[in-house]
Amino acid sequence: MSLGTDTPTDQQLSSAELAERVRQLDDADLARVDAWWRANNYLTVGQIYLQDNALLREPLRPEHIKPRLLGHWGTSPGLSFLYAHLSRLIRITGQQSIYLAGPGHGGPALVAAGWLEGTYSEVYPRIGQDEAGLHRLFRQFSAPGGIPSHVSVTTPGSIHEGGELGYVLVHAFGAVMDNPDLLALAVVGDGEAETGPLEGAWKGISFLNPAQDGAVLPVLHLNGAKISGPTVLSRKDPAEVRELFSGHGYEVIEVEGSDLPGMHYGFAEALATAWAAIRRIQESARNGTWDGSRPRWPMIVLRTPKGWTGPETVDGTQVAGTFRAHQVPLSGVKDNAEHLAQLEQWLRSYRPEELFGEDGTLSGDVLAANPEGDLRMSATPHANGGLITRDLDLPDFRDYAIDVKSPADTRAESTRKLGEFMRDIYRDNPDRFRLFSPDETNSNRLGAVFDVSDRAWAEKVYDSDVKLGPTGRVMEVLSEHNCHGWLEGYTLTGRHGLFATYEAFAMVSASQTVQHSKWLEEANHLPWRAKVPSLNILLTSTAWRNDHNGFSHQGPGLIQTVLTQRGSVSRIYLPPDANCLLSVADHCFRSRSYTNLIVIDKQPQLQYLTIDEAIEHCERGASIWEWAGNDDGTSDPDIVLASAGDVVTMETVAAAQILTERLPHFRTRVVNVVDLMTLPRRKDHPHGMDPMLFRELFTDHVDVVFAFHGFPGAIHQVVHGRPDADRFHVRGFIEEGTTTTPFDMTVKNKASRYHLVIDALNNARRTPPGATELKAWCEAQLAKHEAYVVEHLEDMPEVRDWVLPARDTAPY
């Protein structure tokens, strides 16, 4: 294929000279760009309306029209206009580029782009670049067994579906971090720009380093309307819009209009100016002439009518340029002859006879508008697993282990060990690992990473600042949406990372967790989609230990959220101590295409397992802790005390100690669960343990008192269908919390060791001698606790300083 330009890429030309070529749109290139755009618009309208007669070989008849008219026209011509011009820039400059459509409901435009570039047929050979392929392309859109109406996973070149609006800029910024040669064009819908996440995302440039990162070119598309009303930014005085984005640090370039070919010239000029500015910034940063201050990155404000080139009026009502163009402007085509005629006129306005040959193949002008090979945005490897496909170079996590001499005997901050592990991951993977956190790296005890990397920062740095600077690669911004979205963009382009956040505020970005998991779920069905590094989320500063911050900080809801996702992607780990955390983290960093949720608190906590025991425990996902109970495993115990989560595990082990010491003939088994997904049946989750193993741990009829980190309903959900699931009595977080002592949190939520003992005795198969007295003692302990905390403002010493006394021999 020719480069499709009279002025081919020339490695010898400077960026300024190349930009000049982009600026000068000659007649031949104008014809190509316009032909490509018209072809794209034709294909977009065809996808929305036609099930037959794709090339209009005969006058349109009602039977050519789909029975259900679905899709969004309004945003599409703007999206394809931008695509056509960026493709031209790529042809001239060789710029590696990725296209993110914020208003992803313009899916047909991006599907059409992939088809015009030939990628679609390469990926889906059934949809060839010929008339038969075109027919299938139209029929599959928004159809049963076909493709979604958005720029979904099925769309080659996409890393951003744009279904849930608000994330286009965060994905774009994540994609260019440590990706110096990449330009991400991010189209921001003016409706989308009203969302909280998008509003916060403009700050991305305050964290971008022009030497080591690529560039984001935001295009704010002010087409004026949303679904049924105007947009805020389109109705503002343009000066205010300029000031707003100028205040965010952008150099605002404006293009407005609908006249053709005038808009082609205007946009070529704007894009050339933007790209020249980007290259100037990058070159000065890379050739040592940069003064280190935050560059003024360009952005484009594009004002075009919604539904541009579509029907001006329908039934006498203005449609183009209004919200009425948002979806399907002519809705009655099947039964309304006038609408049908108007649709045909609309389709023919793109002059398909100039765009398609006899057999449906594309004309030379259209083909010549495409960049070549991997430079086609629909084929860019950046959007399919990235350029770096290597896994992380991981140090041996065993080297960071805590030396546990005796279980539940010493306390340590487990996440600090993870910080040390990540410090060395940073050191060994300077091009493909980042930690993302809403200002909590130190708070979450992960600060060891600062030994090898500063916080990324492109704004001013003061002497009083600590570990802050432009070459930093630890991402801290007080926005869960930014952190989550940046990590998504980073992993979808092949790099690895972790989002560490306070547990309660993970709900701020919970919807992103869901949307990303959906993406991974669907990608699993597409053999051509490369596996991408997993989305690793660490929830720390958890509900049980937010006794100082109080009720607002107590919410383990993300577990429930991840549970709703398909088993093919969702993973939930509750390591009880540091060594288990290290083993789990190592596993997660090696994994691909999962959503890994890791939940562990940051406060000093009891350590239970040696590193070898931890590895074995994590490999199994759940096991009996023989040292904690008095069950010899030869016959069924009287009760199973199970736990998942660090604080509740301490309570469980303490409860078992009370039971085994005070009722030595009452057989207590202790089971710890680190991989929550071992509990469901295998048919419900691939990690589900087989029935034999489940029976080995939980028997199939002995009652289980389960102390769970999260909301109790989660355990009932995962043990559904296991033998006699009703015997699982779950204690967990029941929305009782406040500013109080750590142990009082467990008391308030009825998950304390004393509650667990009482539960065990109330639910055991037999009532052992001494049970009544022991329950009375537990009640007395609870009463004593109530009085003690109020008087002393801290926990009783026997609880606060509790450790498991070392046992010389097994208790049985």
Ligand X SMILES: Cc1ncc(C[n+]2csc(CCOP(=O)(O)OP(=O)(O)O)c2C)c(N)n1
Q: Give contact residues for ligand X (rule: CB under 6 A).
A: 74-75, 103, 105, 164-166, 189-192, 195, 221, 223, 225-227, 231, 306, 326
Q: How far apart are alpha carbons 253 and 381 in whole angstroms?
A: 29
Query: Please, what is the minimum distance in Å from the beta carbon of residue 309 to ligand X?
Result: 14
Query: Please, what is the minimum distance in Å from the beta carbon of residue 267 to ligand X?
Result: 16
Query: Please, what is the minimum distance in Å from the beta carbon of residue 187 to ligand X?
Result: 8
Query: Please, what is the minimum distance in Å from the beta carbon of residue 217 to ligand X?
Result: 17
Residue placing its CB nearer to ligand X in the complex, 20 or 164: 164
Residue placing its CB nearer to ligand X in the complex, 304 or 570: 304
Q: How far apart are alpha carbons 661 and 73 in whole angstroms?
A: 72
Query: Please, what is the minimum distance in Å from the beta carbon of residue 734 to ligand X?
Result: 31
Residue placing its CB nearer to ligand X in the complex, 113 or 674: 113
Query: Please, what is the minimum distance in Å from the beta carbon of residue 569 to ligand X?
Result: 22
Contact assessment for residue 579 and residue 374, using Cβ atoms and an 8 Å cutoff: no
Contact assessment for residue 234 and residue 254, using Cβ atoms and an 8 Å cutoff: no
Query: Please, what is the minimum distance in Å from the beta carbon of residue 523 to ligand X?
Result: 20
Contacts of 152 (CB under 8 A, 6+ apart): 104, 107, 158, 161, 163, 522
Contact assessment for residue 186 and residue 170, using Cβ atoms and an 8 Å cutoff: no
Q: Would you call 633 helix, strand, or coil by DSSP?
A: coil
Residue placing its CB nearer to ligand X in the complex, 473 or 481: 481
Q: Which two tokens stand for residue 802?
A: 């509790």
Q: Is the sign of the CA dihedral 141, 144, 148, 149 positive or negative?
A: positive
β-strand 622-624 against 668-673: which pairing, if any? antiparallel
Query: Please, what is the minimum distance in Å from the beta carbon of residue 739 to ligand X?
Result: 34
Residue placing its CB nearer to ligand X in the complex, 103 or 385: 103
Query: Please, what is the minimum distance in Å from the beta carbon of residue 103 to ligand X?
Result: 4
Q: Is the sign of the CA dihedral 266, 268, 271, 277 positive or negative?
A: negative
Residue placing its CB nearer to ligand X in the complex, 187 or 673: 187
**Strands, E, within 593-741: which ranges?**
595-599, 604-606, 622-624, 639-644, 668-673, 704-708, 728-731
Query: Please, what is the minimum distance in Å from the beta carbon of residue 323 to ligand X?
Result: 8
Query: Please, what is the minimum distance in Å from the beta carbon of residue 101 to ligand X?
Result: 9
Residue placing its CB nearer to ligand X in the complex, 515 or 699: 515
Angle at 588 between CA 586 and CA 593, to 5 degrees: 150
Closest-CA residue to 445 (of 621, 600, 672): 600
Q: Which residues pair with 598 in a beta bridge?
A: 538, 573
The most distant pair of C-alpha atoms in the chain lies apart, rounded to whole Å, by 97
Query: Please, what is the minimum distance in Å from the beta carbon of residue 208 to ligand X?
Result: 24
Query: Please, what is the minimum distance in Å from the beta carbon of residue 195 to ligand X?
Result: 6
Q: How far apart are alpha carbons 658 and 354 in whole angstroms?
A: 85
Residue placing its CB nearer to ligand X in the complex, 240 or 396: 240
Residue nearest to ligand X (CB): 189
3-state secondary structure 331-363: CCCCCCHHHHHHHHHHHHCCCHHHHECCCCCEC
Residue placing its CB nearer to ligand X in the complex, 161 or 503: 161
Half-sphere exposure of 462 (CA within 13 A, CB side): 2
Contacts of 659 (CB under 8 A, 6+ apart): 630, 639, 641, 666, 668, 757, 760, 774
3-state secondary structure 510-542: HHHHHHHHHHHHHHCCCCCCCCCECEEEEEECC
Residue placing its CB nearer to ligand X in the complex, 103 or 470: 103
Find the DSSP H helices in 141-179. 168-176
Query: Please, what is the minimum distance in Å from the beta carbon of residue 649 to ligand X?
Result: 38
Residue placing its CB nearer to ligand X in the complex, 195 or 415: 195
Q: Is the sign of the CA dihedral 264, 268, 271, 273 positive or negative?
A: negative
Angle at 48 between CA 42 and CA 52, to 5 degrees: 80
Query: Please, what is the minimum distance in Å from the beta carbon of residue 565 to ligand X?
Result: 19
Q: Would you call 605 helix, strand, or coil by DSSP?
A: strand
Closest-CA residue to 707 (of 668, 666, 755): 755
Query: Please, what is the minimum distance in Å from the beta carbon of residue 34 to ligand X?
Result: 21
β-strand 604-606 against 96-101: which pairing, if any? unpaired
Query: Please, what is the minimum distance in Å from the beta carbon of residue 549 to ligand X?
Result: 29
Q: Which two tokens stand for residue 550?
A: 């109080």
Residue placing its CB nearer to ligand X in the complex, 210 or 305: 305
Residue tagged 């990473």 (tokens): 449
Residue placing its CB nearer to ligand X in the complex, 103 or 148: 103
Residue placing its CB nearer to ligand X in the complex, 307 or 732: 307
Contact assessment for residue 453 and residue 473, using Cβ atoms and an 8 Å cutoff: yes
Find the DSSP H helices in 94-118. 107-116
Closest-CA residue to 66 (of 142, 126, 120): 142
Identity of the amino acid at 543? A
Residue placing its CB nearer to ligand X in the complex, 225 or 252: 225
Residue placing its CB nearer to ligand X in the complex, 191 or 407: 191
Residue placing its CB nearer to ligand X in the complex, 221 or 484: 221
Closest-CA residue to 33 (of 374, 300, 370, 353): 370
